[in-house]
Every structure is written in structure tokens, then in C-alpha cells.
A and B are shown apart, each in its own frame.
Chain A
Amino acid sequence: MLVLLAVYAAAAVSMPWWEKRLGRAMWFVAALVPLATVVWAGTRAARVLDGGAYQESLYWAPSLGLTVDLRLDALSLLMLWVVAGVGALVLLYCRYYVERDAGRLAALLLAFAGAMIGLVLADNLFVLYVFWELTTVASFLLIAGRGARAVQRRAARQALLVTAAGGLAMLLGFIVLGQEAGTYRVSAILADPPRGGAVPAAVVLVLVGAFAKSAQMPVHGWLPAAMVAPTPVSAFLHAAAMVKAGVYLVARLAPALAEVTPWRPMVLGVGLATMVVAAWRALRETDLKLLLAYGTVSELGLLTALLGAGTRTAALAGLVMLLAHAAFKSALFLSVGIVDHQTGTRDIRELSGLGRRLPVLFGVTALAAASMAGLPPLVGFLGKEAALDAFLHGTELARHYQLTVVLVCGSALTVAFAARFLHGAFGGRPSEKAARAVRSPEPGFVVPVAVLSAAGLVLGVAYPGTAALPTVYADAYPPGADGPYELSLWHGFTPVLGLSALSLVVGVLIHALLRRGAVPARLPRLPDVQRAYDRVIEGVDRLAVTLTRHTQVGSLPVYLTVLLATVVAVPGAALVAAAPSLGSPPLWRYSLEPVLAVVMLAAAATVVTARHRLTAILLTGAVGYGAAGLFLVRGAPDLALTQFLVETMTLVVVVLVLRRMPSRFDPGRTSVPGRVLRGAVAVGVGAVVTCFALAAASARTAPVISTGYLRRAAETGAYNVVDAIIVDFRALDTLGEISVVLVAAVGVGSLVRFRDRDAVRAVDEEPPARFPTTHWDEPRQTWLPGAGERPGGERSVLLEVATRLLFPSILVLSLFLLFSGHYRPGGGFSGGLVAGLAFVLRYLVGGQADLGAAVRLRPVAIAGTGLVIAAVVALAPLAVGGTPLDSDLVTWHLPLVGEVKWATSLFLDVGVYLLVVGVVLKLLSAVGVSLDRGGTAARNEEGSAR
């Protein structure tokens, strides 16, 4: 069985390929698969007819209890034959019907057939659900086609929404059912039906899913809408196979759950109501496909009622009706398809006299319609007889006489719409215009219709054979009071025969009356579910818009306020509720602390009121330097050093960007309440953070873990424990960190290098000879090689001299910081930043040309080299059998210098150093050089003009 499913999947996937190779003959290949299925199922029939079953399991994730269980029993076999048999004929029919996009259609039809076969074979509720939704998806794709027409998209979406929503309800029901039963195996649930308190709820949920799939009132609207799909799709999915899934589920679970309270009222009430109301609707339709669609809804209602009733006769009748319906309804659809294909219309009002023009088609269609109406000796008659008997003699069912009356009404209406269909499609006198337009269909086109119609006749005449499989299924129920019902064409003159005849007579009468005077439009309109569906969808849309409008206002300050208010409200409230002791912290530990604190807070507070951007950024810098001071006071010289350098660098970068922006802030336009709220939220967050910090610090119980670092610092050869942590103990953090910084720098470069058309032109027209590095070999007349690029008024000889002298010294200092980092405050970061500041100095004094003269490598190349070195150092120990990021101590005895001891982790620091230098240069080239370019280029031109 698993192989069977795999074959369908493979065949579906390969269909487009076959289409290219074979063209129309592809359909024969496609039809081979379901035909093979029919034969394969035949070989399995003997054991199944004896009441046995085949089982297969695929253990997918046994630890989670997920297995794919498949089981072939009488009900599955019957469904398998229906699906594969009708499927094969529909695929053959497509050979003549389908004009374009054949590969897609064939693939989807085969995929659907595979999913449907999986559905009827599934012996696990979850597997069943998966295949159930796969059929839904296939149906969606088949209805939508390529989605070119709005009406197709809409119908497809409606089918998907309704059946998938029902499917979700069903899944919920499955889970409840499985939990109550303690197993998700269908056969186990059937053998030992659960009777727990939640089972009624599960029944309701599962039935909702089944009703949605089988288009029962009031969720039937999607099925008539789905008639926009190609006719073979309608015949296969929306008449024979997919819509039977809900009925199949009812039939599958009825033996276990029919006795649970809401089951019978639901299936009988909904089923029979659907049968009558939908048949009534069918009488109003003028489109042949819509007529048949409402007919299908009606028949599905009958099937639901019969298979859900939970008596032996009803089950037998249900399965026979199911077989009959699959045969005659798909035959009728295919016949409409031929009419449509040959005449170009399927409207009753436009068709006339086709019966004489296409006698063969008329004959086979009439046979199918007769089966639908329940004429002997066709299989439809067998089903109707059994159904009437099931309700008339079904003393197990409450109010079975009333049910019988409804059934007779429904049957009469069925006869009426069968007659209406036949008369509408083929009756009347051939009009000249219609007659000329009609071509005779090719024989192969009609053959599938004929086979399906003939099947109705054969199944009816050979009724003992027809009865075999349904009887095996129905024997799950106890026989009725009058002994087991036997399927037969002739039971003698019984009340059932009378009722059957009555329904025929009434049905023909209704049809005659309708033709005579009352036109269909005058029949009372019934409430239209389509409108209800539209309203629901519209309501959901509107709800979504309203919700979005109120939660997603698109204003950053509002979002932030909400977030911060939440921070104040939730953790703040928790803090207040827990009322932790704040300990008795000292007011300050070092006397310098309060002084620095006052400076920092005062500077920070002034930032808020600053009107000039430059003032604000300088004040922010003051805060940063204050923080560095605090770090120093509290015994973190490394931190203080880095903070000083970083703060300086930040200042430089921000000021360089600020050059291009207006000097003042835009005046705010916030209202007073807005400002008050902002202040309140900010103060609230600050208070929460203060209290939180105090509470958390005083609640600390765990010992300090860095004691180990202090003890083992000697192993790394380092005196400076912070540096040991950075390059050795936690070197992975450092690797990640430098990568982040590099990415940020590259990001800055691409963000700032914003080029519009004008800028590009300006850059392009810069004469290449002006590129600063080419000045290197020109005679030097200034202290800084590139300083000549600046107009004379902007130059300061003093600065140039100082820079010239200081630059190498600063670089040496940076190298010192790099190499001494292991022993004293310093390290790769500080060293790199110092070197970077040296270049900043060059840039500020000498301009971009001088920077270009100082470094002739691309900044990203330098930074990349640094990252590569760091990564190589990290991975190198692997090569000698160590662990990544391992470090070793090396001792050299050099002449003159003496003993030199160093750790291999120094290379990591070198990598960091290079990377930081590269990043600084990158930032300079981005915010400095790029921003400068327009103006400098102009000045260059001016200079050369002079």
C-alpha cells in the first residue's frame, strides 16, 4: 500500500515530462496508474470479502508515537475502486477534453487520486487528517487553475477556507477522540469505542469537518462555486471522490460513534435537510453543471444520513447509493462536459434538440439519469429501495416514519431534477442554429461516459455481486428486527416498492408542472449561503484592518512608549510586589564617585535641552569621559582606557557626519501632554532600573566565579587578567565581537556612500591624476604629503608639523599598548584605537589626500586581514591536535635581548589590532572621505584653476 502511494506521487511528478514526450497520449500513461490500482485492489478482494483486512505500518518517528498506519478493509476497498475506477475513466476522458495546460492538470489529478487513496487507506487519525488536507490543497489548485480569472480564484479560496476550517475542527475532534480512546488507530477505536465525557464534543467537531468536506447545509456553498473548475475536475473531485471523503469519514466512524448522543440527530437532520433543500435548489438552476452540483449536494445529504444512521440496512443502502452516485454523477458531469465542448454552452435555455443530433450520448446520459432517478433495474433503484426500507422498517431509529416521509420527498425532487436535467440538455426540437454548430464527438470521448452509465446497469442487474462488499461492511451492525435485509431487484409487492413508485410519479409530476407554467424563477428563493459567506469574509477583513489600525500605528515613539510602559508596569510591579530588601549599600565607595556622577548627570541632562547638534554631541562625549573616569576609580584601567579612546573615536565619527547636517535640531512639535508622558515614562524606567540594580546586587548569593580566572591567569603567561580573559579564556567572545564591529563598519560604508546621479557624475569626472597616492613620488614641499590638497586658508603649519612629528610616535605607542597588553592595561583594542586616532589626526589635518598617502591599503583589506589572522590563530591549535582557541607559552633566548617570553594568543591580539585599525580607516573613508568628496573635488578644481 505504501508502494501504491509512492507510485502515485512519482507518476504525478513525472507528468509534465510525459506531456513533453507524448503530447496527448500522456493521458493513457496517467490512466494506467489508477487502472493498475483497480487491478491490484482486485487481487486483494478475496480476503477482504471474507471479512479480513490488510495492514501496513511505516514507523516514522516511533518515539513520538508517529506511525503511518494503513489498512485495507471492505469500506476502504469499495472507496478504492470508486476513486481509482472513476479516476481512470476521467483521465481517459481528459485526452479529448483538455486543450491546454495538460501536464499540470494530469499531475494534480494524479496527486489528488493518490491523496484520496491514502485517505481511505489511513488507519491513523493523524494520517487520515494529513491526506484529508492534501485533497483540499489539490482541490484548491485544480479549481484555481492558473488563477487567471477572479471568479476562479475566489471559488478556490472559498473551497479552501471552508474545507480547511472544517478540517481544523475535525483535527481538534480527532485529538479529543484519540485522547479519550487512548489510541489514534482507527481500527482500535472501532474495536473499543470510547465513551468518555468529552466524546460528544469530539463527535460534533468531527462531524463539522465531515459536513464541510461533503458540502452539507449550511456549509455547502463552496461546491456550486467550485463548478468553475474544468468539467473532468468537477466529475472526479466534486462528484465522485473528494466530496465523498466526508461521507467516508461518517461511514468509517458510525459503527463506533452512532450511539453517542449528538451523532444521530446531526447526521439525520443535516443530511436529510440538505437532501431536500439542495434538490429544490437544483430545480431552479439553468446551468447544467450547477444543476448537477446541487444534485450532488442533495445526494451527499442522503449518503450522510444513510451511512451515519448506524443500522445495518441503512449502511448497506448507503454504500450501494455511494457506488451508484459515483457512477451516474460522474457520467452526467462528463456528459455535460461533452455538450459544453461540442456546443460551447451548458445553459438549459440555449440548448435544444441535442437528443436527435447526438443520439449515442443521449442514450448513455439517459441511462445515468435513470439511475439517478432510481429506475429499475439500475443500481440507483437498488439503493433507493434499500434506503426506503432502512427508514420504513428502521425501528431502531426514533421517528422513523417521519424520516421516511422526508426521504420520499427528497427522492421525488431527485426524480424531478433528473428529468429536468435530461430534458434541459437533450430535449426539445432541434433549432437550425444549434444544429449547425454541433459536431459529433469522437467515439473515444463518449466511451468513459458509456462505461460509467453501463456500470450503473451492470451493478444493478448483477446485484448479488454488488451486494458483496457493502454487506461485509454492514455486518458490523446487528441485523434489524426482520432479519438481515438482502439486496434485490424484486422483493414482491411491498410498501417500499409503493413508495418508490410514488416518488417517481410525484417527481415526474413536479417536472411536468414546472415545465407547464411555473418557471423556475418563481420558486420561492431560499436563503443564500453565498451571501453569508461573503459577509463573514468581509467581516474578517474588516476586523483585521481595524485591529491593525489600532495596534500598528506606525509611529516609533508610540511603540517605544508602549514597550517602556510595559517594562515599568510588569517587572516594576513585580519588583514592588516582591519588595526585596535593597540591602544597606554604602552611599559611595570612593570619594571621587559622587563628583564624577554629578558631572555626568549634569552633562547628560543638558543634552536634552541642547539646541545645537554639536553642543549635544560634545556633552554626550563628556558623559562618556565621565564614565571612563568612574571605570578608572573602580579599578578597571583597561575599561577606562578603552572608554576614553572609544569616546574620542565616537566624537570624531559623529562630528564628521554632523558636518553635512544642519547645525540645529528641528524644532519639536510634540504637545505638552506628550512631553509629560515621555518624561514620566523615562523617569519610570530610570527608577525601575535603579531599584532593580540595587535589589539584584543585594540579592546576590553565588560566589564570584572569576576567582578561577585569577588563579589560572599564570597559565596564560599574563599578568593582566582582563586581557587574559579576552584573548584566552573567553577568546570566542572576542572573535564574535570583532566580526560584529567589522560588519557594522562595512554597513556604515554602504549606508553613507549614498550615490545619486549627480554625485556619481562628480566622482567620475574627477581627473584620475588627482588621486592622492600619486603625489607620493612628487617632490614634497610640505610636512604632510597630502596637505597641499587643502586650500591655503585652511592649513595650519603648526598643526602639520606637530602631526608629522607625532604620527610615528603615536603608532609606536599603539604597538606598545598591543604588546604590553598581556602584562599591563592595553591590548589589541586599545592599541588599534590609538593607531586609528593617529590616522584620524592625519585626516583632520591633511585631509583625505594625506590619509591616502599615509595608508595605501584598502581599509577593508586591513580589517579582513585582522579577522583572518584571528580566525587562523583560533583554528591553528586543531592542526597540532589541540582544541580551538588554545594558547601556548613560548620562550625564546635571543642574543643581546635576553629571554623573551610570549604567548601565542598574542597573535589574536594582533588580529584584533589590525581589525580595529581597518575599521577606523573604513569609518574614516566612509564618513570622512565620502562625505567630503563633493566639496573637495570642487576645491581641487579651484586650486588647479589658480
Chain B
Amino acid sequence: MTGAVDNTVNTLDVTMAVVVGGLFTIGFHLMLQRSLMRIVLGFILLGHGTNMLLLVAGGTPGRPPVLEGQPVNPAEPADPLPQAMALTSIVITFGLTAFLMALAYRSWRLSGSDEVRDDVEDRRIDIARQRAGADEVTGPGEENDDDLGEPDGDLGDDGLGEPDGGEGDAGEPDHRDDGTAPEEHR
């Protein structure tokens, strides 16, 4: 920590910029995948990148901003404000990472895989469209009043099922967990 402090306003060097950019690249690449675990890892890497960007873009590096009681030349120590902010940011990243991890775990526990699946509701739009087509054939008369009245009311029982699984699909991993349950051993 004895680097020369130069007084240019430019606080960034190329290495740091490349590190930040690299972390963003890899972080987003992981987040674009379907595995929840990879998304969490991508989030962690993005967090590192962002915290670092906050620090390096915000202030000049230098001696640690610990004053030892005597007045100093303000240009000498590193800028403490971005440090304080990055510190806050690190702690919050940690909290969010833990939360995301728990989400991933719960999703895995419920669905049996840690993949981000497509939204079932959105897939139902297709079904709704087919129904609209069917209506056209019968013609908008009195007989399909109820359909027109509640276009989304009947979609629940269209036989599509719920690929993401509700409580029903959760059974499999649960049994795996409790396979060693005492009752079953005796």
C-alpha cells in the first residue's frame, strides 16, 4: 500500500475496468441460464463486480483512511465515502444472496429440479387463444354468453395441468428426505 498517489481525477485503471467488465460478463452469462443455482452464482459474481465498480469508480485509491489523530493532506488517503458505501453494499449483497439461495432451495424442494421453468399462466394464453378460435366457429350468440362474461374463469380446468407442480409434485423429493425416518426403519 505504498503506491504513488497521482492527483488526476481519473480514479480508474484499465485492469480494474477489465475486472469489473469481466465479472459483469460472466455474472450475466450465468444469470441467463436456467439453473437457479447458476443464477445465484451469477448474482454473487455480479455483486462482486458492482461493489468493486462502486469503489473504483467512486474515489481515488491511496493510504487507508485511518487518520491516527493528526490532520492529513486530504489528497493522501483513499476516498472513504465510496468505501463506506461499498461496505453497505457488500453486506446487503450477502443478505440477498442468502435469500436467493433459500428461494432456489425452496424451488428445488417443491418442483424437484432447480430449473427456472416457463410461466404456466403465460403458457395458458395459447389455450385461451384456441378457445377464442373455437368461439368464432360457434359464433358470438347467446349460447356463449358465459364465456364472454368471464374469459378467464374457465381456463383453470382446461386439462393443462400444472407442470411446475403444486403440492402434488413435491412428494418425490420429500420422500427422499424422509427415507431415513425412524418409523420406516423399524
Stretch at the interface among A364-372, A629-637, A785-793: A629-637
Max count, chain B CB within 10 A of own CB: residue among A535, A710, A759: A710
Q: Which of B3, B21, B65, B185 contacts A589 (CB 8 A)?
A: B3
Taking CB atoms, residues of chain B closer than 8 Å to A642 are 87, 90-91
- In angstroms, Cα B80 to Cα A579, docked, is 31
Query: How would residues 521 to 537 of chain A score, 1 for a CB under 8 Å from any chain B CB and 0 otherwise?
Result: 00000000001001101
- Knowing A630-B52, A646-B94, A751-B106, the reply to whether A637 touches B132 (Cβ < 8 A) is no
- CB of B94 within 8 A of CB of A649, answer yes
Query: How would residues 37 to 49 of chain B score, 1 for a CB under 8 Å from any chain A CB and 0 otherwise?
Result: 1101100110011
- CB of B44 within 8 A of CB of A748, answer no
Q: Which of A594, A694, A700, A934 contacts B17 (CB 8 A)?
A: A694
Taking CB atoms, residues of chain B closer than 8 Å to A630 are 16, 19, 52
Is the CB of A556 closer than 8 A to any CB of chain B? Answer: yes
Query: How would residues 598 to 636 of chain A score, 1 for a CB under 8 Å from any chain B CB and 0 otherwise?
Result: 001100110110000100110010011001001111111
- In angstroms, Cα B101 to Cα A694, docked, is 33
- In angstroms, Cα B132 to Cα A584, docked, is 62
Q: Which of B15, B45, B174 contacts A594 (CB 8 A)?
A: B15
- CB of A721 within 8 A of CB of B66, answer yes
**Residues of chain B in range 80-111 having any CB-CB distance to chain A below 8 Å:** 80-81, 83-88, 90-99, 101-106, 108-110
Number of B residues with CB within 8 Å of any CB on chain A: 123
CB distance from B68 to the nearest CB of A (A): 6
Is the CB of B160 closer than 8 A to any CB of chain A? Answer: no
- Knowing A623-B48, A693-B21, the reply to whether A748 touches B102 (Cβ < 8 A) is yes
- CB of B14 within 8 A of CB of A588, answer yes
- In angstroms, Cα B177 to Cα A881, docked, is 58
- CB of A560 within 8 A of CB of B57, answer no
- In angstroms, Cα B60 to Cα A137, docked, is 63
Query: How would residues 121 to 164 of chain B score, 1 for a CB under 8 Å from any chain A CB and 0 otherwise?
Result: 11101101100100110001010011011010000000000000
- CB of A745 within 8 A of CB of B55, answer no
CB distance from B28 to the nearest CB of A (A): 4
Taking CB atoms, residues of chain B closer than 8 Å to A726 are 84, 87-88
- CB of A690 within 8 A of CB of B45, answer no
- In angstroms, Cα B17 to Cα A590, docked, is 14
CB distance from B185 to the nearest CB of A (A): 7
- CB of A710 within 8 A of CB of B48, answer no
- CB of B83 within 8 A of CB of A737, answer no
- CB of B181 within 8 A of CB of A938, answer yes
Q: Which of B15, B21, B51, B145 contacts A151 (CB 8 A)?
A: B145
Taking CB atoms, residues of chain A closer than 8 Å to B93 are 646
CB distance from B182 to the nearest CB of A (A): 4
Is the CB of A198 closer than 8 A to any CB of chain B? Answer: no
Taking CB atoms, residues of chain A closer than 8 Å to B62 are 635
- In angstroms, Cα B149 to Cα A583, docked, is 64
Taking CB atoms, residues of chain B closer than 8 Å to A639 are 55, 83, 86-87, 90
- CB of B48 within 8 A of CB of A560, answer no
Taking CB atoms, residues of chain A closer than 8 Å to B48 are 623-624, 627
Is the CB of A666 closer than 8 A to any CB of chain B? Answer: yes
- In angstroms, Cα B68 to Cα A310, docked, is 91
Q: Which of A561, A585, A620, A635 contacts B12 (CB 8 A)?
A: A585
Taking CB atoms, residues of chain B closer than 8 Å to A153 are 149
- CB of B81 within 8 A of CB of A607, answer no
Taking CB atoms, residues of chain A closer than 8 Å to B14 are 585-588, 694
- Knowing A693-B20, A710-B67, the reply to whether A636 touches B78 (Cβ < 8 A) is yes
- CB of A607 within 8 A of CB of B30, answer yes
- Output the nearest chain B residue to A588 by Cβ-Cβ distance: B15
- Knowing A741-B91, A741-B94, the reply to whether A546 touches B13 (Cβ < 8 A) is no
- In angstroms, Cα B25 to Cα A608, docked, is 11
- CB of B32 within 8 A of CB of A597, answer no
CB distance from A648 to the nearest CB of B (A): 10
- CB of B88 within 8 A of CB of A690, answer no
Q: Which of B32, B92, B114 contacts A561 (CB 8 A)?
A: B32
Taking CB atoms, residues of chain B closer than 8 Å to A670 are 33-34
CB distance from A702 to the nearest CB of B (A): 9
- CB of A601 within 8 A of CB of B55, answer no
- In angstroms, Cα B48 to Cα A53, docked, is 74
Is the CB of A720 closer than 8 A to any CB of chain B? Answer: yes
CB distance from B8 to the nearest CB of A (A): 8
- Output the nearest chain B residue to A656 by Cβ-Cβ distance: B101
Q: Which of A593, A710, A941 contacts B13 (CB 8 A)?
A: A593
Taking CB atoms, residues of chain B closer than 8 Å to A686 are 21-22, 24-26, 28
- In angstroms, Cα B98 to Cα A743, docked, is 11
- CB of B20 within 8 A of CB of A690, answer yes
Stretch at the interface among A476-484, A547-555, A849-857: A547-555
Is the CB of A719 closer than 8 A to any CB of chain B? Answer: yes
- CB of A590 within 8 A of CB of B64, answer no
- Knowing A589-B13, A623-B23, the reply to whether A709 touches B81 (Cβ < 8 A) is yes
CB distance from A913 to the nearest CB of B (A): 13
Taking CB atoms, residues of chain B closer than 8 Å to A555 are 118-119
- CB of A934 within 8 A of CB of B177, answer yes
- CB of B56 within 8 A of CB of A634, answer yes
Taking CB atoms, residues of chain B closer than 8 Å to A681 are 28, 32
- Knowing A616-B37, A630-B52, A710-B65, the reply to whether A700 touches B9 (Cβ < 8 A) is yes
- In angstroms, Cα B29 to Cα A637, docked, is 31
**Residues of chain A in range 735-758 having any CB-CB distance to chain B below 8 Å:** 737, 740-741, 743-745, 747-748, 751-752, 754, 756, 758
Taking CB atoms, residues of chain A closer than 8 Å to B38 are 616, 665
Q: Which of B26, B148, B178 contacts A154 (CB 8 A)?
A: B148
Taking CB atoms, residues of chain B closer than 8 Å to A617 are 41
CB distance from B98 to the nearest CB of A (A): 5
Is the CB of A474 closer than 8 A to any CB of chain B? Answer: no
Q: Which of B32, B59, B125 contacts A704 (CB 8 A)?
A: B59
- Output the nearest chain A residue to B151 by Cβ-Cβ distance: A541
- In angstroms, Cα B177 to Cα A634, docked, is 47
Is the CB of A730 closer than 8 A to any CB of chain B? Answer: yes
Taking CB atoms, residues of chain B closer than 8 Å to A903 are none
- CB of A545 within 8 A of CB of B10, answer no
- Output the nearest chain B residue to A549 by Cβ-Cβ distance: B125
- CB of B101 within 8 A of CB of A657, answer yes
Taking CB atoms, residues of chain A closer than 8 Å to B120 are 554
CB distance from A791 to the nearest CB of B (A): 13
- CB of A696 within 8 A of CB of B41, answer no
- In angstroms, Cα B94 to Cα A548, docked, is 36
Taking CB atoms, residues of chain B closer than 8 Å to A597 are 15-16, 18-19
**Residues of chain A in range 54-107 having any CB-CB distance to chain B below 8 Å:** none
In the complex, given contacts A594-B15, A597-B16, A650-B97, what are 14 additional A-B residue pairs having Cβ atoms less than 8 angstroms apart?
A154-B145, A538-B136, A553-B122, A597-B19, A601-B18, A604-B27, A631-B55, A634-B55, A700-B11, A721-B65, A721-B80, A726-B84, A752-B106, A758-B178
Query: Using a CB–CB distance below 8 Å, which chain A residues touch chain B?
Result: 150-151, 153-154, 157, 531, 534-535, 537-538, 541-542, 545-546, 548-549, 552-557, 560-561, 564, 583-590, 593-594, 597, 600-601, 604-605, 607-608, 613, 616-617, 620, 623-624, 627, 630-639, 642-643, 646, 649-650, 653-654, 657, 660-661, 665-666, 668, 670, 678-679, 681-683, 685-687, 689-690, 693-694, 696-698, 700-701, 704-707, 709-711, 713-714, 719-722, 724-726, 730, 733-734, 737, 740-741, 743-745, 747-748, 751-752, 754, 756, 758-759, 762, 765, 823-825, 829, 919, 923, 926-927, 934-935, 937-938, 941-942
